[in-house]
Chains A and B, each alone.
Chain A
Amino acid sequence: MSSLWEYANPRKFIATSDRVLPWVAGLSLLTLTAGLVWGFWFTPEEARQGASVKIIFLHVPAALMAINAWLMMLVASLIWIVRRHHVSALAARAAAPVGAVMTVIALATGALWGQPIWGTWWVWDPRLTSFLILFLFYLGYIALWSAIEDDDTAADLTSVLCLVGSVFAVLSRYAVNFWNQGLHQPASLSLDREENVANVFYHPLLLSIAGFVLLFIALVLLRTQTEIRARRMRALLARERMG
């Protein structure tokens, strides 16, 4: 009976992910291209926002993945803490820069969208602010990984940081909400608009979200493989130096 935990064996993980990776990557390329092309060129312009609404096809999926990447890192960290599977820790490490880039994409496209609609690149709106804080969390996490030489120590420390960081990320979210209550800047636009987005926008948006999810999976698989191979190479080099 093969169990999920067998993939904690790096060799098995590499073999399986090698087989899966081309499919995931290809599928992601397909859905992403389809979603974005459909979204950018084959949707009507929205009545009030004009063409600038089309940035939604980049903005919403990136924002979604920015949060989900941290969630995945949290799960992977928990697995590392409880069952000490090295692949899990390396997957969390591999996901962090991807998540950070997704956060940057969400922030940048949000600014580009906000400029014509709100007339400003940036407001201290709860959503925007908590995303900026999420970005800081990513930076700290990545910096801690790269600052520690011993792999197991680094995995342990970053896992705890990820746990504590998650709690504080949620706390910041509510704190920021609260903080903004008394301010005059209204949250003119929220990402929960999905339910009132018309179907013409909704379907390509779904496609492009699927594309982003697949892209994230592909990148994490690839980067985890790289981490495993890099670690193997370090071990080999160390053995050579000893002998």
Chain B
Amino acid sequence: MIALLMRDLKLGVRAGGGFGLGLAFFLIVVTLVPFGVGPRPDLHASIAPGILWLGALLACLLSLDRIFALDWEDGSLDLLATAPLPMEALVSIKALAHWLTTGLPLVLVAPVLGILLNLSASGYLPLTLSLLLGTPALSVIGTFGAALTVGIKRGGLLLSLLVLPLYVPILIFGAEAARRGAEGLPYTTPLVMLAGITCGTIALLPFASASVLRVNLR
């Protein structure tokens, strides 16, 4: 398991694109927002939590189809499936590797981009916390979507259609926590709900992902 994780991490970092691309995309989204809504710092401050969450979510979405596609193409996914490792563990490792290479960097970079959007000082901690609690769920759900569409040619667009509705609750609670924090309101409740959803997805979704992956490898 550790070996697989290390392999995926190395591939994620070295095999061009995936790692930096998400961050660059996040930066682009945040850069484009002021052009879209006009140069009004007070407006930027009020929409900053939502925009940062949305940007992180889209950046995460961008890298989802890489979770299984490359291994599928060169046949190593079949080898991994026949290895003495339960499929549930395989998809969990894949999700963890995806989070470490995509989610975690997004969490770390979000406060920096918050400066660009004039995020209020009280907003940084809840933003980081909510992203830290929410992005693992994004990776786990994304792994499910990637497992669903692994056999489909040009499944990227379908993948986003399948995954985005599933992202809704996480986006709502995450952005709500960040928004309340930025406005100086108590933000424990949405944060706890977010943590609950994340724990639930981590506990249950690997089974669903493993079963659809088995179907696709059949």
Contacts from A to B (Cβ < 8 Å): 133, 136-137, 139-140, 143-144, 147-148, 153, 156-157, 160-161, 163-165, 168, 171-172, 174-176, 178-179, 182
Contacts and interface: CB of A to CB of B under 8 A. Distances in A.
B43 interface: no
Contact of B148 (A133, A139, A161, A178): A161
A175 B169 contact: yes
A163 to B, nearest CB: 7
A179 B162 contact: no
B164 interface: yes
B164 A148 contact: no
Contacts, number: 76
Interface in B138-152: 144, 148-149, 151-152
A153 B216 contact: yes
A172 B144 contact: no
B166 A165 contact: yes
A167 to B, nearest CB: 8
B4 interface: no
B197 A171 contact: yes
B170 to A, nearest CB: 8
Contacts of B211: 160
Contacts of B197: 171
A160 B155 contact: no
17 contacts: A140-B158, A140-B161, A140-B162, A140-B165, A157-B212, A157-B216, A160-B148, A160-B211, A161-B148, A161-B212, A163-B208, A164-B166, A171-B169, A171-B197, A172-B172, A174-B169, A178-B193
Contacts of A172: 165, 168-169, 172
B173 interface: yes
Q: Which of B166, B197, B216 has the most CB of A within 10 A?
A: B166
B22 interface: no
B156 to A, nearest CB: 11
Interface string B116-150: 00000000000000000000000000001000110
A179 B53 CA distance: 15
B215 interface: yes
Interface of B: 144, 148-149, 151-152, 155, 158, 161-162, 164-166, 168-169, 172-173, 176, 180, 190, 193, 197, 205, 208, 211-212, 215-216, 218
Interface SS of chain B:
helix
B176 A178 contact: yes
B173 A144 contact: no
Contact of B162 (A144, A148, A182): A144
A182 B212 CA distance: 39
Nearest to A134: B165
Contacts of B148: 144, 157, 160-161
Contact of B173 (A133, A157, A175): A175
A168 B215 contact: no
A129 B164 CA distance: 14
Contacts of B216: 153, 157
A179 B197 CA distance: 15
Given A136-B161, A179-B176, 5 more contacts: A153-B218, A160-B208, A165-B165, A172-B165, A179-B172
A168 B158 contact: no
Contact of B169 (A157, A160, A163, A168): A168
Contacts of B190: 178
B95 to A, nearest CB: 14
Given A136-B164, A144-B162, A164-B144, A153 B215 contact: yes
Contacts of B151: 148, 153
A174 B168 CA distance: 11
Contacts of A147: 149, 152, 155, 158
B32 to A, nearest CB: 23
